[in-house]
Structure 1
Amino acid sequence: MTLRHIEVERGVAVSVRDLGEGDPVLLLHGWTLSHQAWDRQMRVLADDGHRVLGMDLRGHGWSDAPLRGYGVDRLAADAATVLRALKVERASVVGWSLGGMTALRLVADFPELVARLVLVGSAGVAGARQPGFPYGPPPGIIENAMHGGEHGDRVGFRRQALVDTFASPPAPHLVDWLHGISLQTPSWVANECMTTLLRAEQLRALDELTVPLTQITGLRDPFTPIEGARWVHEQTGSTLVELDCGHYPMFECPDDFDAALQKALAA
């Protein structure tokens, strides 16, 4: 298991955990977390015969955190640079939440690098209500609350944000662990990435989608409404897997999630 540091632009490197051998799978995590959230899935997929690449988005985990540069196009370009640097011709790409939007943009901008796409807790096209996508709250409501929370009580805000996006109260030790990972992400990164998550508009990417798409979504996800995932399913003919959980299927229903993910990657 190798932890690599790959320069994606001058002075900015991202970290990638490289595990196993076989068909490559790139895992992209959610807002303020890191590849550590995929720990169980990295092991399961490597045991299945995959080369698993757990990438820390810029500003997250052990990746560098510049003051600016967190648009979805930049995050996707980083992922493309990682795949090329590791000599991966085509990979299955699994994106969760912010990582889902990044994964969809990666397919749109670098289609030659992606074999199949799996969106987890993400509609991919938008993280909040947008013209043409009437699902979720208006972006300004969440954005203003988040920026205020980051400025006034970053530590408390991050913890509450984690708890609030589970369908049922999570175990305290799990919250403690995720909270510690989240606090590795600086406030300037959290602010910019939340704005990206809420305001990036990628409806055009659906029209250009040429790879198989699987969506794995929680029926009780308070951040990503199931109606948005169903709308994307209707537009694309994707495979839609609905699980009885919130925004964290890898922790709330890990067995069902692993089975759905393995099936999507084997299709």
Structure 2
Amino acid sequence: MKLIEVEDGVRINTLELGAGDPILLLHGWSLSMEVWDRQIRVLAEAGHRVIAMDTRGHGHSDAPLSGYDIDQLAADAFSVLTAHGVHRAHVVGWSLGGMIALRMAHRAPERVSAVVMVASNGVAGARQPGFPFGAPPDGALAAILAAEHLDRVSLRRNAVGDPFGTPPDPGTLDWLHRISLQTPSWAAMNCMKTLLCTNQTHILDTLVVPVSQIVGRSDPAMSSRGARWVQERLASSLTELDCGHYPMLERPDEFDNALLRALAMVERIAT
């Protein structure tokens, strides 16, 4: 574990394991690097240098009042790579982390070898101009912010449990709920605004970094049609698993194999 101080003085909690080609793991809304525990080990044992981080406001990172827009979240991730002495890395992002990964590839393609988006299309978490998939953000965002203000404990339990393809076992739900409650309300609210209101469709036209997607066919939180739309725009790789929003938990063996295949394919292209 290592705390990294980024440009505005916020401390980001990170973990590094293994040696080889560097891979940065980014988690999703209100959770932390804990969701990657199995993949950190699997990737390190496969010969990769794995760096995982808690996004600001999440896990054991600092939680300032502001600074949760997509550009700042991407800047934090670059600062983490720099602090670990890494100039260029594969970036694997789940859910909101997929949007951050795509932003990184757009802003500094020389620093991103490839992007693997998990349960994410990377461009939008809700319907946006130029992206006609998913529900419009306004109603959903207002309801989530109101519920967070009224009863964050109940909201978080529903928010982490509902996106499964089938209901998770109670132990898994308790674990995710505990992680989610580490994220304070101001960070959760701001990150939800970023997730639902960011529109990155313009990035696709100029993206030069290889992109792969691993998504669940039964994901209630992300439109699989939107993922296919991104694949067609980028001529990228898309793997669909029989699960919901948590492929690393719902189909761990299949997910690990798909992730390792995606990384191996990028490395073959690079050589």
Report if TM-score (shorter chain) is over 0.5: yes
1:217 is aligned, of 208, 215, 219, to 215
Correspondent of 2:59 among 49, 52, 61: 61
- Equivalences for 1:57-96 in 2 at 5 Å? 57-96=55-94
The separation in 1 between residues aligned to 2:21 and 2:218, in whole angstroms, is 32
Q: Give the aligned residue type for 1:18.
A: E
Cα distance in 2 for residues equivalent to 1:62 and 1:9: 18
Name the SS of the counterpart of 1:9 in structure 2.
coil
Q: Which residue of 2 aligns with 1:137?
A: 135
Which residue in the other structure is 2:147 paired with? 149
Secondary structure, counterpart of 2:110 in structure 1: helix
Q: Sequence identity of aligned pairs in percent?
A: 60
What is the one-letter code of the residue matched to 1:9? E
The answer on whether the counterparts of 1:150 and 1:191 sit within 8 Å (CA) in structure 2 is yes
Cα deviation for residue 10 of structure 1 reads 3.2
Pick aligned residue for 2:175 from 177, 193, 209: 177
Which runs of structure 2 are paired with 1:185-264 in the superposition (5 Å)? 185-264=183-262
Q: How far, CA to CA, are the matches of 2:166 and 2:8 in structure 1?
A: 43
Unaligned runs of 5+ in 2: 266-271
The residue that corresponds to 2:38 in the other structure is: 40
Cross-structure match for 2:269: none
Counterpart for residue 24 of structure 2:
26
Quote the Cα distance in structure 2 between the aligned partners of 1:231 and 1:99.
19
Paired amino acid for 2:129 = P
Secondary structure at the residue paired with 1:115? strand
How many pairs are equivalent? Answer: 265
In structure 2, C-alpha distance between the alignment counterparts of 1:10 and 1:204, rounded to whole Å: 28
d(CA) in 1 for partners of 2:86, 2:250 = 32
5+ residue gaps, structure 1: none
What value does the CA root-mean-square deviation take over the aligned residues?
0.7
Q: Which residue of 1 aligns with 2:4?
A: 6
Equivalent in the alignment of 2:268: none
Contact 1:80 1:110 (C-alpha < 8 Å) held by counterparts: no
What are the superposed Cα offsets for residues 189-214 of structure 1, whole Å, 9 maximum, x if unpaired?
A: 00000000001111121112112111
Q: TM-score, normalised by structure 1?
A: 0.98
1:266 to partner: Cα distance: 1.1
How far apart in 2 are the matches of 1:17 and 1:87? 13
Moved over 4 A (4+): none
What amino acid is the match of 1:219?
A: R
Aligned with 2:108 (options 110, 118, 123): 110
Q: What is the alpha-carbon distance in structure 1 between the residues aligned to residue 29 and residue 153 of structure 2? A: 15
Shift of 1:11: 2.4
| Residue type of the alignment partner of 1:255 | D
1:229, CA displacement in angstroms?
Answer: 0.1
Match in the other structure for 2:157: 159
Query: Any idea what SS the aligned residue of 1:148 has?
Result: helix
Partner SS state of residue 261, structure 2? helix
Q: What's the counterpart of residue 122 of structure 1?
A: 120
